[in-house]
Each structure stands twice: as structure tokens, then as C-alpha cells.
A and B are shown apart, each in its own frame.
Chain A
Amino acid sequence: MTAKPFLRMLVTTLALAVAPLAATAQTTAATTAATTVAPDRSATGGATTLQDILERQKGLQVDDSYRSDALGDPAHAAPITNPLGSLGGVSQADDWRALRYNKADVTVSSHGPASDVLIQDSGMTWLKFRQGPLATYGGWALIGMLGLLAVFYAIRGKIRVDGELTGRKILRFASVERFAHWLLGGAFILLGLTGLFQLFGRLFIIPLIGHEAFSPMAVAGKWVHNNVAWAFMIGLVMVIVLWTAHNIPNKHDLKWLSVAGGLFSKGVHPPAKKFNAGQKIIFWAVVVLGISISVSGLSLLFPFQMPLFAATFEHLNAWGLPQAVGLGELPTQLAPQTEMQLAQIWHAIIAFAFIAIILAHIYLGSVGMQGAFDAMGSGEVDEQWAKEHHGLWLAEVKAKQSKTE
């Protein structure tokens, strides 16, 4: 599979995951596919019926185009001499519906990209999702990962070097590589902690310390999150430049994966170059999730300047993917605030997945494996460690050394 179709498939998969949110958060007049037969509205003169209300109460999707499209008829306005003729074919109810569905031709004297959206009601959906499923499932995902790592440690213990340590050190990562790693990693930890603090602060911290103490901490956390993000992005670019060539999959990866890298059994050491298949999975996860979280983060850092979702949904609709999974066409006209809400939700979903993966990485790079931290600490590892975990890379390094001598 070449890179382009793979990337397209990946983006599509990620975007489809957030599509239901978009459908519910949509506030403009895009017509949603009704799941039920449209009721006969002749008795109400085309207005809302009891069936509409009941279906909405059951949480079913209601095609409300009968409201969003009922914006008056200036072309057939009654003569001005007639009763209500001075309204020009547009009643006040029509005006309010136009505002409600963002179809009104609004002129405002204030500045700002979103200032002409006078009614926007997807904020409640966003808030409920953020405080409900996002916090609940995201929180449990992190706890679940910590639990898995604890169980793994209890069963396998620390993965030790099987052979005798030689005492001969070999440079595994140059200083620039270690700098890039810690720039990215240090920034990630700060961003993860401050992000979780913002999301769970109201739930867990305020009951402990109160609003007054929490407020300056939240402000400080926001400053750290917004500004440390730049260090994260610089670190991400450095890591991509330094390590992409070493992370191209090769035939040895299949062998490594077939024995799970020897993680679950002592004395098993599949051959690996500079990075083994497990590290390559982590690397590509960091690249994909890192780019996605950076782009959505930039969209949040510069409000209303980088709307992402309407354009993405347009592409997805053109490929027919949302329709293929029964979502119908995704909305392609989103209010600026809705774009921001979707960016925040997406940013957080990616963050939870990212943190869960990096927890496993931190575990293996510290308490989980003897000698692993040295590779990123001092940069040097024992030859025996290198032989067991990166045998092919050690052979390459030794061959280079013998050539230069």
C-alpha cells in the first residue's frame, strides 16, 4: 500500500470517529437524514407536530427542514396596504428561525470572525459530551492502561539483560537525538498534565481545594498548555527529521512481532536494527497523533482562524464514507463556534489515545526494562544490552567502527 491511500484511509477513519458529534453539534440548516417517516403537518399548518416532539424526546433524529427552510416569502409578500403587509413577507417568527439556523443576513458593528452568529446552541451538546463520555471513557482508558502495565509488571517483572554485562559502552543516541526526545517528551508530559487538569479540575480538584485556590492554578495551567505547545511542535519536527529513515518497516519487524519482541518470554531476542517493530509502532503513533493534536491545537490557539471540520466533512462526503456507514451526509456548513467545539473534542480524544500509548512507552523506558533509560539518559548502553535488543544495529555500528579503524 502506498503512502497516499494509507494516509487518506487513516484520516477518514479518524474523522469518522468524530462524525456523530458533528451531526449533533450542528446548528446550521444542513438537513439531517430523518430516521423516521416525516409526519403529516397539514393539521398544524406546517409547524411542529406532537410526533416531532415525541421523536425528539426519544432522542431520534428529526428532519427539521420544515423549520429551517420556513424563512418567509418576500417574493409573494402581501401588499403593504393589507394586514401584516408591512412585514414584507417575513414574519418575526421567520426572522427568529433565520437567526436560529444561521441563515439571517446579519450585519454587526462589532469586529470578530464569529460576531455575526447570534444564536448558536451546540455549546450544550459539546459541554455534555466533554463532561460525560469524553471524561468518563478517557479517564477509564488511562486507568485501564495503568492497570495493564501493573499486571504486566506483576507477571513479567523487570525485563533484565539475560547475558553478562560487558562494561563496554556504545553510543546509542547522539546528543541532538536525546535533546529532541526530551524536548518532545518533557513538553508532552507538561501538556498532558495541564490538559487533564483543565478537563478534570472541576470534578476532582475543586471539591478538594475550592474555587478560589483552583482558579489561579487553572489560569497558570492554561498558560503552560498554550505556550509549551510550541516546544512540543518543535520537538515533533526534530524527531520526524531525525528518525523517520530508521523507522521504515522492514522484514525483521515481522519476525520481531511474531514473538512479540520477547517481551513475554525470557531469553527471546529477535533481531532488530536501530528501532524494533514495537518502537516503530510508537514512533508512527507519535507522528500521526502528534500532527493531529498539533493541528487541532493550533486551531484552538488561534480561534476561528483555522476551521478544520467543515472542509474535512466535505471531503468525506465526496468519498461517500459517512454515507457508507449510515451516517448520511455530514454537515459542511458549521458555525465558527461549532468548529471550535469539534476541534476541542477531537484534540482531547487524540490526547487520551496519545497519553495511553506514551504511558506504555514510559514504563518500558524506565522501570520496565533494565538499561533502557540509559539510552536516552547518558546516550550510552552496554554492548550486551545492545546485542540482545538491537543485534542488527550493533553489528552495523561495529562494522562501521572497524572500517574507520
Chain B
Amino acid sequence: MKSMYLAFLAIGVVAVLASVGLGYVGFSAQDMTSSSNVRLSQ
């Protein structure tokens, strides 16, 4: 059963790493999908 519990732990670790990693590289889906009339050019 160790493999099963290890896999469940890995799911959590991968999810946190993915979230932190995408944030670290500056990716934001919210920015991508913001409507044009509220996102003004920098």
C-alpha cells in the first residue's frame, strides 16, 4: 500500500509545484483572458 500513499502524496506535491512554478515564471491565465476594455497597454 506504500506505493498508493506515496502516489497520493505526489499528486499534492506536483499540484503545489505546478501552481508555484507557473506563478514564478509569471504566467497568469487571468491576464490572458482579461477583456480588452479594462486591460490598457503598459
Contact = CB atoms under 8 A, between A and B. Distances in A.
Interface string B1-19: 1111011101100111111
> Interface residues of B: mostly helix, strand, loop or mixed?
helix
22 contacts: A109-B40, A110-B36, A112-B36, A114-B36, A115-B39, A175-B2, A176-B3, A178-B3, A179-B4, A181-B7, A186-B11, A187-B11, A224-B15, A227-B15, A227-B16, A229-B18, A230-B17, A231-B15, A303-B32, A303-B33, A304-B32, A377-B4
Contact of A183 (B10, B16, B31, B34): B10
Contacts of A227: 14-16, 18-19
Interface residues of B, number: 28
Interface string A179-191: 1111100110010
B37 to A, nearest CB: 8
A113 B36 contact: no
Contacts of A112: 31-34, 36, 39
A80 interface: no
Contact of B4 (A113, A182, A302): A182
| Chain A interface extent, by class | 35 or more
Contact of A110 (B6, B18, B41): B41
Interface of B: 1-4, 6-8, 10-11, 14-19, 27, 29, 31-37, 39-42
Contact of A108 (B4, B29, B31, B36): B36
Given A113-B32, A301-B29, A302-B32, A230 B3 contact: no
Among A114, A181, A231, A304, the most chain B Cβ lie within 10 Å of the Cβ of A231
A183 B27 CA distance: 25
A109 B7 CA distance: 47
Nearest to A115: B36
A288 B39 CA distance: 39
A303 B8 contact: no
Interface of A: 108-116, 118, 175-176, 178-183, 186-187, 190, 223-224, 226-231, 234-235, 301-305, 376-379
A377 B1 contact: yes
Contacts of B42: 111
Contacts of A190: 11
**When A and B form their complex, which 10 residue pairs have the shortest distance between CB atoms, in order from nearest?**
A182-B7, A115-B36, A178-B3, A227-B15, A231-B14, A183-B7, A231-B11, A303-B32, A109-B41, A230-B18
> Interface residues of A: mostly helix, strand, loop or mixed?
helix
Given A116-B36, A376-B4, A302 B18 contact: no
A373 B14 CA distance: 26
B6 to A, nearest CB: 6
Contacts of B17: 230
A110 B40 contact: yes
A115 B33 CA distance: 9
Given A112-B36, A113-B32, A231 B10 contact: yes
A303 B22 CA distance: 14
Nearest to B41: A109
Given A112-B31, A183-B10, A301-B29, A230 B41 contact: no
A295 B2 CA distance: 31
Contacts of A180: 7
A110 B16 CA distance: 32
A378 B5 CA distance: 11
A365 to B, nearest CB: 12
Contacts of B31: 112
A182 B36 contact: no
A304 to B, nearest CB: 6
A178 B19 CA distance: 26
Given A226-B19, A228-B14, A303-B33, 12 more contacts: A110-B40, A112-B36, A114-B33, A115-B39, A118-B36, A178-B7, A182-B3, A186-B11, A227-B14, A230-B15, A378-B1, A379-B3
Contacts of B8: 182, 186
A179 B11 contact: no
B32 A183 contact: no
A305 B17 CA distance: 22
